[in-house]
Amino acid sequence: MDRVAFQIGPVPIMWYAVFIVSGIILGLGVVTWLGKSKGYDFEDWIDFLLLGLPIGLVGTRLYFILFNLPYYQDNPAEMFNVRGGGLAIHGGMIAGLIFTYFFTKKKNFDFLITVDILAPAFILGQSIGRWGNFINQEAYGQVVSQETLSWLPQFIQEGMYINGVYHQPTFLYESIWNLVVFVIMIVLFKSKYYKPGRVLGIYLIGYSIGRFVIEDLRMDSLYLGNFQVARLISIVLIAAGAYLFYRSMSSGKGKN
């Protein structure tokens, strides 16, 4: 598949980057919309984006490099080549949560409400970003017959024909699952049942359940010994989400 969306002069712009940027723009719209009801300003999110985005991207890259260390030790220059992929979402989650904690302290915002606003935007971006994996022909699943994929549009079938065989479109499963979780989070945030921390709890539980199940179908998982790293992290995040949901308190105000 052609990974180049278009060119600006001699510089090729990759589809992966187009999907990532699209997710960021839509995510900014989501946090602006949700934040209004809690007293946040558009400028607050611009400040967050300008500082948090590079930190999050570094986190996703470092996490990926860490679990592919032998390759990058032999090819150190490739550590800086992110145009074709190689970003791990769990690294971005960890870096993002740490940054958000200090950001809310500096701005005197409520941490739980802030992450409740950010979480739907984050998973929407994940849903969109999975299509970048499709273009790059990565994050795909086990070998299947063409007949198994016959229910899918032709372009997806063709995209899942990799190295002479067809694969499960795990990118599609996760993209759809994330979109469902996104809708649930928005409905909860806007409902009378919302309490600070509950949306983040739903994100951690919902995303991680989907990732745990889908990861078993993938062929390019990161491993720690004999264990898939994403499944181990998912178990921890499900427990953390359940704890957050259980301990959630009254919503209060968007800012302290």
Q: From the annotation, which residues make up the binding site?
A: 130
Q: Which residue has the tokens 């030790």?
A: 73
**Can you tell me the distance from the alpha carbon of 18 to that of 212, in angstroms, rounded to the nearest whole number?**
27
> CA-based angle 76:127:143, to the nearest 5?
70
Tokens of 137: 């022909």
**Can you tell me the distance from the alpha carbon of 170 to that of 195, in angstroms, rounded to the nearest whole number?**
33
Q: Which residue has the tokens 């001699």?
A: 10
**Can you tell me the distance from the alpha carbon of 118 to that of 88, in angstroms, rounded to the nearest whole number?**
18
115 touches 97 (CB < 8 A): yes
85 touches 18 (CB < 8 A): no
β-bridge partners, 13: 6
Give one word for 208, left, alpha or beta, with left for phi > 0 and alpha for psi -120 to 50.
alpha
